[in-house]
Amino acid sequence: MKQDFDFFAYVSRMGLISRWALMRNSRTESDAEHSMFVASVAHALGLISKKIFGRDVSPEKMAVYALYHDVHEVLTGDMPTPIKHNNPCIASAYKTVEKAANDKLLSTLPPELKEEYDDVLNFSPLSREGLLVKAADTISAYVKCQEETSMGNDDFKSALLATKKRLEEMRLEEVDWFMQKFGLSFGKNLDSLD
């Protein structure tokens, strides 16, 4: 039986995948940085959903889903959102590629762990937890756009508006609550934070 498994060697490469490849960036962001922030926001959205709105969700599972939500990109690279979502054929094809990459990653795990990681890598995007993880991913994009525009980077102006619109169109009260309580602080510099 095979003794060495490559799953975490792949995971460790998330730090090598750069995001926002088609944009001029003041600071490059890796998939590893992005996933950590998305996990923290997903956890917060789960807590808000559970504690404020009384929903039956698992903030801990959501944090784990978010932590691995882009791990397939170690095999596929980061496809820019406008390309991925503005054409139904490309969106469908990319979903197939994501699934194939996740299947490849699952094949690099010991058999005893495959089922658990299959649930993590292939969580339902239509469940409340899945919708909130997607919202956390979008909040992360919003924060990146906010940071870049606050540094005078005009390349992110239209992305900031589009991302804000996507958040509003989600119509998720957890997202609205989060943005009301935390959203304004994202544009502040370090000296102005409490």
Q: Which two tokens stand for residue 127?
A: 């469940």
| Alpha carbon distance 74, 157 (integer Å) | 28
pLDDT digit string, tens, across residues 5-43? 999 999 999 999 999 888 888 889 999 999 999 999 999
Residue 185 has a pLDDT of: 84
pLDDT value at position 1?
A: 58
Instruction: Kindly write down the DSSP assignment for every residue of 19-62, as one continuous string.
Output: S-TTS--SS--BHHHHHHHHHHHHHHHHHIIIIIT-----HHHH
What percent of the chain shows pLDDT beyond 70? Answer: 98
Residue 168: per-residue pLDDT: 94
User: Which residue segments constitute the domains of the chain, with CATH numbers given?
Assistant: 7-185 (1.10.3210.10)
pLDDT tops 90 at residue 186: no
Q: Helices in 48-124 by DSSP H: which ranges?
A: 59-68, 73-76, 81-85, 88-106, 111-121
Q: Which position has the higher pLDDT, 26 or 59?
A: 59
Cα(193)–Cα(141) distance, integer angstroms: 21
Between 187 and 51, name the one with better pLDDT: 51
Cβ atoms of 186 and 54 within 8 Å: the answer is no
